[in-house]
Structure 1
Amino acid sequence: MNIEVLGPLTVHIRGKVVLPTAPKPRKLLAMLALRADRMVPIPVLIDELWGENPPRSARTTMQTYVLQLRELIGEALELGGGDRAAAKDVLVTLPGGYRLETGGGSVDFREFDRRVVAGYRAFDAEDFHAAARLLRSALSLWTAPALADVQSGPYIRMEINRLEEARLCALDRRMEVDLRLGRHREVLSELTLLVNQHRTHESLHRQFMLALHRCGRRGEALSAYQRLRATLVEELGLEPSPQLQRLQRAILTSRGTQAPARGMVKRPVAPARHG
C-alpha cells in the first residue's frame, strides 16, 4: 500500500486506487492513513467524523464505513491476484480501534520528513549543494495543500496544520541554502510570492530583503522592511526582530550589493520529526 496525503488523499494497493467518494468514509480513510501502521482509537474516529454530538448509531455507522473501505480494498487485492478475505488483514480490527497496514509500502509524509532531515544534516556538514537537492526533493512530494479533498474535523485539521507548518519550515530552510549558494536571482520570484502569503513571517522577509539587495534593488529591499514593520505593528503590536533591524541598517549604509549579506543568513535549525 502506498499512501499520499501531501495533496489530495490517494491510497494505492497494487496499483489500484482505493478512495471512497462519500465524504465520511473518505475522512475515515484519511484518519487511518495519517496513522498508518498504528491503531486509531474508536472514540477518536467518532469525534473526527461527527464532532461533539455524535448520533447514537455512530459506532454502527462507522462499522458500515469500515466495511465499505474493506470492499474497495478487496477489489484492489482481487485485481492484483489477491483474496478479498485479506482485506481484513489490511484494515485490521483491534480491541478499541482500527489500524491500516501498509505492508512496507510508502507513506509520502514520512518520506518528506526523511528527506528534510537529510537536507539539514547536509547543511550542518556545509554540503550546501546536497542540502539544496534534498530539500527540493522533499518539497517536490507536495502536489497541493495537504488532504485538499478531505473534509476536516478537529484531528485532521490539526494534522493538516502540522504538515503545512513542516512544509513552510522546509521552504524557509531551502531559501537559506539557496542564498548561501548565491542563487538570489533564482529565488526572488518565489520569495515574492511567499512574503505575500505569509505577511508576518520575519525569516522569509529577511531572505526577501537579502535577495532584493543582492540583485541591486536596495530601495525595494528597504520598502519590504517598512511594509513588514507596518504589518507587525498593526497586527501584532511588535517591532521587527533585532536581526531584521540590523539587516535594514546594513542595507542603508552599504554601497555594494553584497556587503550586508555576510553573516546575515542564519544557520537553520531542523524541526522535530513527526511520526
Structure 2
Amino acid sequence: MRVEIRVLGGLSVQLSTRTLRLGTPKQQAIFAMLTVQPGRLVTVDDLVDELWADRPPRSAIANVRTYAANLRRTFEASPAGRGVIERQRNGYRLVVDPDRVDVFRFEVERNAGREAVSAGDLDDARQLLERAVARWRGPMLAGIPLGPFLTSRTVAAEEERLLTVELLADVQLRSARGDLAIPLLRDVVARHPLRESAYLLLMRALFERGDNAEALATYDEIRTRLVTELGVGPGNNLQDLRRSIVASVSHAGGAVTCPSR
C-alpha cells in the first residue's frame, strides 16, 4: 500500500500515482477526522458531533455511513487502497502508518530538531527544523469545514508551527544565519500581529544585520498594536532589547532614523 496524505495546507491524498478526489466537503471532513487519528477508532457519534455539532439532522447517522461508504469505494477502486479505511461495528479507522501523513512527519522532525538543539548540534537542528517548517503549504486543513474537534486540532497544530518557526529562527541567529530568519519572522508577525516572541526574534535579526532603524521601527509597530488592541505595553524582553539597541547606537555615536512605512 502506497498512500501519501497531506493536511498542512489543504487536504490531499496520493494513492500510488493517482490523486484521489474525496467528494463532498462533509466526506472530506470525515476523512480528515480519520487522518489526524490514524489507527484509532473514530466512532459514528464522534463524526456526527464533528459534522453537525449540537444540531444533527435525523438522518445524521445514515448520512455518516453513506459518506464513509463513498470514501471506502473511492479508495478500494485501486488495489493499493483496499483496507485503508476499515469499517468497524460502531465506527471507522484509518489503517496507515503515521509516517505517511505530513503532520506526523512534521512532528517527528520538530522533535528531532529540539533534541539536536538541546545537544548543542545547531547544524543538524537547523536542517531538521527547516524540513519541518517547509512541510507547511498553508493553514492545516484549509478549505475543509471544521467542527469542534478539528478546530481544536488545527489551532494546536498552528501553535506548534509557530513555536517551530521561532526555534528555527533562534537557531539561525545562533548560527550566524540571521538573514534567513527575517522573512520567516515577517510572515509570522503579518499573520499573528500580537505575537511578542516573534517580534523579539525579528528585532534581534534586524539588529544583528545592522538594521538598527528597522529594528526600532519594528518595536514601535508591536508597541502600537499592543496599546491600541489590548491596552498594554510590550513585555520586559522587548523593552530590554530596545534599550540595548538604543544604547548600542548611542555608544557608536550614530543616530537612528526610522524608515518610512
CA–CA distance in structure 1, aligned partners of residues 11 and 184 of structure 2: 26
Q: How many residues align?
A: 250
CA–CA distance in structure 1, aligned partners of residues 188 and 32 of structure 2: 28
Distance of aligned partners of 1:163 and 1:223 in 2 relative to their CA distance in 1, 3 Å threshold? same
Q: Give unpaired runs (5+ residues) of structure 2.
A: 253-261
CA shift, 1:228, in A, is 1.1
1:186 aligned to which of 180, 193, 197: 180
Match of 1:232 in 2: 226
CA–CA distance in structure 1, aligned partners of residues 125 and 99 of structure 2: 26
Contact 1:92–1:100 (8 Å) recurs in 2: yes
Q: Give unpaired runs (5+ residues) of structure 1.
A: 259-275
- 1:203 is the counterpart of 2:205: no
CA shift, 1:105, in A, is 5.8
Task: Give me the CA root mean square deviation.
Answer: 2.1
2:103 aligned to which of 105, 109, 114: 109
TM-score by length of 1: 0.84
Q: How does 1:75-90 map to 2 (within 5 A)?
A: 75-77=77-79, 80=80, 87=82, 89-90=83-84
TM-score by length of 2: 0.88
Match of 1:267 in 2: none
1:100 aligned to which of 79, 94, 98: 94
CA–CA distance in structure 1, aligned partners of residues 116 and 182 of structure 2: 23
Contact 1:209–1:224 (8 Å) recurs in 2: yes
Q: 1:223-275 CA distances to partner (integer Å, 9 max, x unpaired)?
A: 211221121122222222212111111111114999xxxxxxxxxxxxxxxxx
- 1:223 is the counterpart of 2:225: no
2:30 maps to amino acid = L
Contact 1:185–1:215 (8 Å) recurs in 2: yes
Distance of aligned partners of 1:105 and 1:194 in 2 relative to their CA distance in 1, 3 Å threshold? closer
Distance of aligned partners of 1:257 and 1:22 in 2 relative to their CA distance in 1, 3 Å threshold? farther
Match of 1:129 in 2: 123
Contact 2:98–2:104 (8 Å) recurs in 1: no
Quick check: 100-109 or 165-174, which moved more? 100-109
Q: Secondary structure at the match of 1:36?
A: coil
CA–CA distance in structure 1, aligned partners of residues 33 and 42 of structure 2: 8
CA shift, 1:143, in A, is 1.9
1:13 maps to amino acid = L
CA shift, 1:113, in A, is 0.5
CA–CA distance in structure 2, aligned partners of residues 135 and 257 of structure 1: 36
CA–CA distance in structure 2, aligned partners of residues 216 and 119 of structure 1: 28
Q: How does 1:44-59 map to 2 (within 5 A)?
A: 44-59=46-61
Match of 2:38 in 1: 36
1:190 maps to amino acid = L
CA shift, 1:157, in A, is 1.6
The percent of aligned pairs where both chains have the same amino acid is 34
Quick check: 121-130 or 144-153, which moved more? 144-153
Q: 1:50-106 CA distances to partner (integer Å, 9 max, x unpaired)?
A: 2211111111111111111111111022xx4x8xxxx4x432222432111115761
Match of 1:164 in 2: 158
- 1:144 is the counterpart of 2:116: no
